[in-house]
Structure 1
Amino acid sequence: MSEVKILVACAAEPTLSTVLEKVCQVSEKSGPFDCIVILGPALNDVKDEIPVKMPVPTFFTNGSKLVSDEAGSISIDENSTLLNGIGIYQLSNGLKIGYLTGDENYLRQNEDEILSLFSKQENDGVDLLLTYQWSEAIAHGSTSSAGICLVDKVVKLLMPRYHFACSEKNKFTELNPFQWNETSSITRFLNIAEYGSGAKWAYAFSLSLGLNNDGLKIDNLSPNPYLQSNGKKHRLEEESTRLPSNIKKFRQILPEKCRFCFSNPDVEDHLIISISEHAYITAAKGPLTMPHGQMDFSGHCLIIPIEHRTKLVADTNDITKTPTYTDMESYESKLVKMNFEKFQMSTIIFSINSENSVHFHKQVMPIPNYLIGKFVPALDRQVHFNNERNPTNAKLNFKEFQGKKDLNYLEFINDPQNNYLQFTIFENSSQPPKVYVASFDVSKRIDLQFGRRVVAFMLHLPKRVKWDSPVCKQSKEEEQNEVTLFQKSFKDYEFEKLV
């Protein structure tokens, strides 16, 4: 982990020479800086000479208009680079800069290309995001700046550690940092005023590369404005509902409206991998895991009972004797065997068994065998975030059982009053799994993404926590290809009789 020193300033073309002289003086006294960033409409033409020879790598943005028809990074001289339009620039020391500049018309016309470019940064994000405009979420609390929606989308994709804008040229703004639930990463927003405005026109800071803020205690955190704006737009997600039990709406969803029921005319049957008498397997919508090694598909799938069940409970005194449970367990065993024998992958299975769910199911995720030892620390970390940082969430306390034949475990799952989250961890296909179960108060909110958060942390894939995140979305053609590859590998196990 290395620390870099950065200086960010804002200049217009008439003041550029003065600004560069001043930042060089600052660099001599307070530096040396590892890089300097000049925001604002400082350059009129890419062929213009930089009036001052810069001692360190210096990056210029183009304000609200393109300096060149060519978008991307353009070298001007030995230490000067223009970041024109949109792109990602990574320095040799690892510092990663994302930039999004140009007028609203340019951004609107190129929105698909912009989102496609930045969605490729799903695993790493950026250290700095440079934009001309503010986002709508940030501008919502401002009386002057309007903000544009595309900036919101880019910020959500990249979760930058620092976001700098400069459209409010007469005002310096520094907001309190805010946190992203998915990763615990921190973002800071600043608007740098233009030199000569009378407001603060330069900002110096240090940044530790590779540090993602985990474990840091920051006292002045503000609510995340990007999460607040979505607070009333919850959709049915991959796992279950998270409404309190006194709200009956989701508990009354009929099979013909359920996304997992065959009686729904809109069911996405192109995702189906295998069907048995009482259960079926479908490829996960917006998979968390990604192709790895010899596994050329994500491997993330769902095991779903065919019968519309909000909760898996026993029709008799023993749930393990029910046909639905038996079919689901058979599929589970075959998937575990395929993952390990063909791909040397361990398997994590997560489920939420709650009377407030829409349709019970299990998520099955292959994990590189060498990473499975990270499960318990990842689980403990997420439990801490859930219990300590989210006071409205149901408190979770996981108990470990040695396999599914543990008598205490069987007693627990056969109690129809229990609502619980469960992880089943298969290190390989020959040993019994370890089972981790946490019961919860059904009247409390539960985090639908809890299971994905744990696995995403293990795999270093923070941007893939939510199934409907832009980085997880697949076209129908990509989904169909995923199913074809999955079926090709699973066919050797699908009809195997397991003892």
Structure 2
Amino acid sequence: MNWDHGILFIECLLFFWIICCDYYFSLVCGDVGGNFKQLFTRVASVQKKAGPFESLFCVGEFFGDDNSEWEPYASGEKKVPISTYVLGPTKASHLRYYEDKDGCDLCENVTYLGRKGLYAAGSGLQIAYLSGRECEDTADDAQFSPNDLEALKVICKMSDSKYKGVDILLTSQWPQGVDKYGTSVEEVRTLEVGSSVIAQMALDLRPRYHFSGLEGVFYERQPYRNHQILGEKPRHVTRFVALANVGNPQKRKFLYAFNIVPMKHLDEKELCKQPPDVTECPFKYNASLCEAGQDETSAQFFYDSKALQKKQNKRRPGDQGGGQAKKHAQPPGPCWFCLGSPEVEKHLVVSVGIQCYVALAKGGLIPEHVLIAPIGHHQSTVTAPDDVIEEIEQYKLSLKKCFKSRNQDVVFFERNYKTAHLQVQAVPIPTTQKDEVKETFVGLALCQNIELAEIPKHSVLKQIVPAGAPYFYAETPNGERLLYRITKGFPLQFGREAMADQTLLNMPDKVDWRNCKSSKPEETDMANNFRKMFEKFDFNLQ
């Protein structure tokens, strides 16, 4: 082969490889309705003939009235052929199949995403999702309201100051009036069955693809604009696709294959190309709907402690301005960890600082298992401001000193995956076992096909992990720092499982926090005991 031709051939291969690496190949299906065998058989066939595809997303109802086909997959007798992500139910009667409303693994390779959120898939793909049907008053977790719209807007836009949109939006219900300016859907009266909340969501989030189910038909709308011609600079278009039910007798399309380059890898010109069949946007801004959501989500921050108020009016070295404390970031809706939220179980709180607080972990592995959390609403250490991070580090140092006085060392870990509020877990172990921590975490990770990497001791996490990206992070007593960038499903109890291992706490029955519940009086006693133990190490009291 001519040398120049050889170089050209290699360059072409490299170019092709780079392009393919940016693409995300995926499948989407409509309502499964309990027809698991037919779905996964079809997916396996498509995967073999046209794959590989990285994932399968299911919109609409995953479970049905007859779920007898689910048992072989739940038991592990049969294996799901692809990483599968499903939305939650739209019927209250199906809630029993979802163990954790905020997201959980239903079986190997099948993950329930949760009620709402932003999922970061491989290659940086951003996927927003909302489960359930619209209802003015959300009576159960199979419904959503304008409150959820505002929460999802905050989740998506907080992670990127130069927000352009999301790559994919998954909803079970259709957006109201989606067929306006496009091909009409004879069998679906979109103004009646569609959701005004989802229409507003599509307008605000600007997805490049929007997938829905529930109505039993396949409908692929012409792409629509996300900008006003001459009035706004060009933006990318949105493609709406609705899928039929799996196993429908009319043989309507229920499985859709597509590939997409995440918008973060596209330049502005490529991203904003307008196809020839593009239409006007079918949705109009609904001011009353947005105001209703904002009214519901505006939270009042309070904490009934005079000591806290006194501390917040103090100035610490390096504070700017007068003694007035900076207002804490507010949550978009109910939050179990924002200290000013009525949902917080304040009897568990053992120390309160200016930016953060320490509380006993609900269902802790041991009575001294605590968590450090910001008072205001911040999702992770990557997105939290510097003053919050500084106080977290102060609390870590104080906890280390406290446990050291008891011949213990402490392990810290954080999971930024299917969580809305930053929590740094702190679990003490006997000093004699501190050398086992890294090996235990890494060993458990290997068993679960997780590549837990050690990062430099003095590196800054937010310089390694992009804002909004899910991750698991742990610090060992020996100073090792372990990180896993989550790309697909991740075991929610991984940190607890490692700590409960026989090499550390040897408490395999306590991996699930729900097996460790105590009564409120018992929790109050444990909090009082910890508060007394920690008092002389608490920097807020010195």
Provide TM-score, normalisation by structure 1: 0.44
Q: Which has the higher strand share?
A: 1
